[in-house]
Chains A and B, each alone.
Chain A
Amino acid sequence: MTNGPNLSRPNGSAAIRMVDLHRHYQMGETVIRAVDGVSLQVRSGEFVALLGSSGSGKSSLLNLIAGLDRPTSGAVIVEDKDLAQLSREDLAKHRLRTVGMVFQSFNLVSRMTLAENVELPLRFAEVDRGQRDALTRKALERVGLGARVTHRPSELSGGEQQRAALARALINQPKLLLADEPTGNLDSHTGTEIMNFIREFNESLGMTIVMVTHEKALAERYAKRMIFLADGKLIDDQTNSTAVAANLHEDRR
């Protein structure tokens, strides 16, 4: 498939729209084309998996959506804002309010307790102190960590750390959740646990999910759309009927 049909989708419901997006890195003499002319559209409420082998540019693409990186050329429009045109300040605001991120290596601040980690985005968002405590507690309870608020990340299992990271990603109620290999460092049991949380956010909160993974099986099980990348180019875009069917099956239960 080509990326033609994606662009023809109505703009009004688009959460993410990329137009001829490039991200090139200069490595000495050679230019690495991490993202090389991707055009893509993700509708609001979609659960998209970005698949590809390592070096295919899937993480680079995710970083562009997250506003952690800027494109070399092209446009990446998230929630009606072209990130390429935003100032550094506004890009930080985008990361703070529009997107939430989880990573393979959890990326919790090791010197802070779970509560402090989850509270951190609220501090940057200048939320009042009294409100912060309640919101933090609620978010941690939601991921089943209500009893571990004063623990440090090193005192927790990988699954617990990733759950805390999910709580932190959701604390400012973003419209998008960006997950970079969220189960990569976890065993299959805890991985499933995390994926169930992510699916729940997608279905009950209506969050748009973009997940980077190299495990096709995982994508097939949870994502409703799978986008395949190779050498920075989009090579396939499929609607995942299996996941839809599985969901229907679970709903019926």
Chain B
Amino acid sequence: MKTYDLTELALRNLRESSLRNSLTTVGISVGVASLVAMLSLGIGLQKLATRHLAKSGLFDTVVVMSRRDLRGFGRDDERNTASAAESRTLDESARQEIERLPDVLEAYPDIRFITELRFQDKPHLTMISGITDSSRANDAFSGIQGSFFSSENAPEVILQKSFALELLGKATKPGEEDEIPVAEVAKPLLGQELTMRYAQRSQTPSSSEESASPKAGKQIEDSSDAAYSVLSREQKLKIVGVSDLDPDSMRGAARARVFLPLKLAEDLHVMQPSDLRDSMRGFNKQPSYSTISVRVKNPKQVEAVEQAVKKLGFNTFSILDATRSLRQFFAVLDLFLGIFGSLALAVASIGIVNTLVMAILERRREIGIMKAIGASDGDVKKLFFAEAGAMGVLGGVVGVALGWAIGHVINLGTNIYLKRQALPPENFWSVPWWLVGAAIIFAFIVSLVSGLYPAARAARLDPVQALRYE
């Protein structure tokens, strides 16, 4: 029999005992709906998590270090494999080279230093770091009070909330600061001025005479031809923003609490801790960076970029492993949600078997007639398959719609709850197109499998006996 005829006959047969067939179809719909609801919840949560993590900048960043610095970690094997000749200096030319690698969004030097900030004539010692303009998209700045930097080299500063509290002389105990709203902290500080005192590293042309005579500040001379001097400087900075969250949490103990525009930080030529070490070792023919942060277009490309950077002769670090375990967690979560969702579908498939076996008993005579007038075993089998498949597809379509609606209601309800708790609304519900398609195909396959036994049984029916049956 032709497929079209088969479908037509099957749908016709389904309409005949419509109550039983529609109940069976509802069973499949509920199964598919629960599957879709569970999985789209899992997918939605995963998307939510990835969205936040991507914004945090943790997962698309590769930190590049010079191999020389590893000596400090006491890794002798590294030292042997990468001799001083092979290892490269992490300087401006290296930064540009890294930035030209495929899939790299930007590469910027990591400038961080500990220095003194004076506010209302009181000194505060803290870690300061330069951040790029692209950081404004970082999740940590989403709840910022005030604004982000007006330009890349504006003499402006953003404070982390804990440091802002320190300036105001409030709450020093950890945990306590959470209870003070950031708006309250920011109010007296925004627009105020800070004075940053720092040590500037300034390049000096090297000659033995010059290096012998001391200049302003302290001068360090090394055995090579290059030399530089360190000058004590002051810079006035305007407080433009106070961030609620900690954008630098990845750094752990070395995290900064005060942020400058990166360009400004670079132009200041602040003496970096690595400078001193380099100068002692005689590497500093030109200024080098301690680390460079590389932002990759997509977290998926982190590994490839890491490999490429390593080939250039640098060491890298990323928290790719963390994303890997995160993905693993969601895979397991989706699996569990999927299994629970499928349970209902499994129950529904028993309903299909039941309905079709009942249909065989009821339509025994009809099957006998069809065989007597020339239907082959295959025709009968296909007809029952088509009926099972039609119920599956129908149930699948209705189920997807139902599941989508259920998820929508859950999402809506949760957002009302979030609103009451004064939290921003979140969309943790996602029904991608592939899930719609996969759910319908899955329902179709499950119903075909359920139709396997009834169809085979109907096909095996002996026409002589079936015709005798009243």
Which chain A positions have C-beta within 8 A of B371? 68, 92, 95
Given contacts A89-B376, A96-B373, A125-B374, contact A103 B13 (CB under 8 A): no
What's the minimum C-beta distance from B311 to chain A, rounded to whole angstroms?
Answer: 64
CA distance A162 to B189 in the complex (A): 100
On whether the beta carbons of A120 and B370 are closer than 8 Å, the reply is yes
- Contact with B374, one of A88, A97, A103, A109 (Cβ below 8 angstroms): A97
Confirm or deny: B378 has a beta carbon within 8 angstroms of a beta carbon on chain A.
Answer: yes
Confirm or deny: B9 has a beta carbon within 8 angstroms of a beta carbon on chain A.
Answer: yes
Confirm or deny: B324 has a beta carbon within 8 angstroms of a beta carbon on chain A.
Answer: no
Confirm or deny: B321 has a beta carbon within 8 angstroms of a beta carbon on chain A.
Answer: no
Given contacts A68-B463, A107-B467, A109-B369, contact A92 B374 (CB under 8 A): yes
Q: What does the 1/0 interface line of A109-137 toward B look like (CB < 8 Å)?
A: 11110000000110111100000000000
Confirm or deny: A15 has a beta carbon within 8 angstroms of a beta carbon on chain B.
Answer: no
Which chain B positions have C-beta within 8 A of A110? 366
Confirm or deny: B1 has a beta carbon within 8 angstroms of a beta carbon on chain A.
Answer: yes
On whether the beta carbons of B1 and A124 are closer than 8 Å, the reply is yes
Closest residue of A by beta carbon distance from B370: A120
On whether the beta carbons of B463 and A120 are closer than 8 Å, the reply is no
On whether the beta carbons of A124 and B379 are closer than 8 Å, the reply is yes
- Contact with A89, one of B368, B370, B377 (Cβ below 8 angstroms): B377
Which chain B positions have C-beta within 8 A of A172? 374
Confirm or deny: B464 has a beta carbon within 8 angstroms of a beta carbon on chain A.
Answer: yes
What's the minimum C-beta distance from A124 to chain B, rounded to whole angstroms?
Answer: 5
Which chain A positions have C-beta within 8 A of B370? 109, 120, 124
Confirm or deny: B375 has a beta carbon within 8 angstroms of a beta carbon on chain A.
Answer: yes
On whether the beta carbons of B366 and A109 are closer than 8 Å, the reply is yes
Which chain A positions have C-beta within 8 A of B372? 66, 68, 95, 101, 103, 107
Interface residues of B in 349-376 (CB under 8 A from A): 365-366, 368-376
Interface residues of B in 1-40 (CB under 8 A from A): 1-2, 5, 9, 12-13, 16
Confirm or deny: A63 has a beta carbon within 8 angstroms of a beta carbon on chain B.
Answer: yes
Q: What does the 1/0 interface line of A83-97 toward B look like (CB < 8 Å)?
A: 000001100110111
Contact-residue bracket for chain A = 20 to 34
Closest residue of B by beta carbon distance from A63: B464
| B-side interface residues, number (CB < 8 Å) | 24
On whether the beta carbons of B373 and A121 are closer than 8 Å, the reply is yes
Interface residues of B in 447-468 (CB under 8 A from A): 463-464, 467
Closest residue of A by beta carbon distance from B373: A121
CA distance A100 to B207 in the complex (A): 117
Which chain A positions have C-beta within 8 A of B463? 68
Confirm or deny: A79 has a beta carbon within 8 angstroms of a beta carbon on chain B.
Answer: no
Closest residue of B by beta carbon distance from A111: B16
Interface centre among A101, A108, A123, A172 (most CB of B within 10 A): A123
Confirm or deny: A233 has a beta carbon within 8 angstroms of a beta carbon on chain B.
Answer: no
What's the minimum C-beta distance from A146 to chain B, rounded to whole angstroms?
Answer: 21
Which chain B positions have C-beta within 8 A of A123? 1-2, 5, 9
Q: What does the 1/0 interface line of A53-96 toward B look like (CB < 8 Å)?
A: 00000000001001011000000000000000000110011011
Which chain A positions have C-beta within 8 A of B13? 111
What's the minimum C-beta distance from A185 to chain B, rounded to whole angstroms?
Answer: 13
7 new A-B pairs (CB below 8 Å) besides A97-B374, A111-B366? A68-B463, A69-B464, A92-B371, A92-B375, A95-B372, A124-B1, A125-B374
Hey, which bits of chain A sit against chain B, CB under 8 A?
63, 66, 68-69, 88-89, 92-93, 95-97, 100-101, 103, 107-112, 120-121, 123-126, 168-169, 172
Please, could you name 17 A-B residue pairs with CB atoms under 8 Å apart, sorted by A? A66-B372, A68-B372, A88-B376, A89-B377, A92-B374, A92-B376, A93-B374, A96-B373, A96-B376, A100-B373, A109-B370, A110-B366, A111-B16, A121-B373, A121-B374, A124-B379, A126-B1
Hey, which bits of chain B sit against chain A, CB under 8 A?
1-2, 5, 9, 12-13, 16, 365-366, 368-379, 463-464, 467
The 10 lowest CB-CB distance pairs between A and B, nearest first, are A96-B374, A92-B376, A95-B374, A123-B5, A124-B374, A111-B16, A107-B369, A68-B463, A121-B373, A124-B375
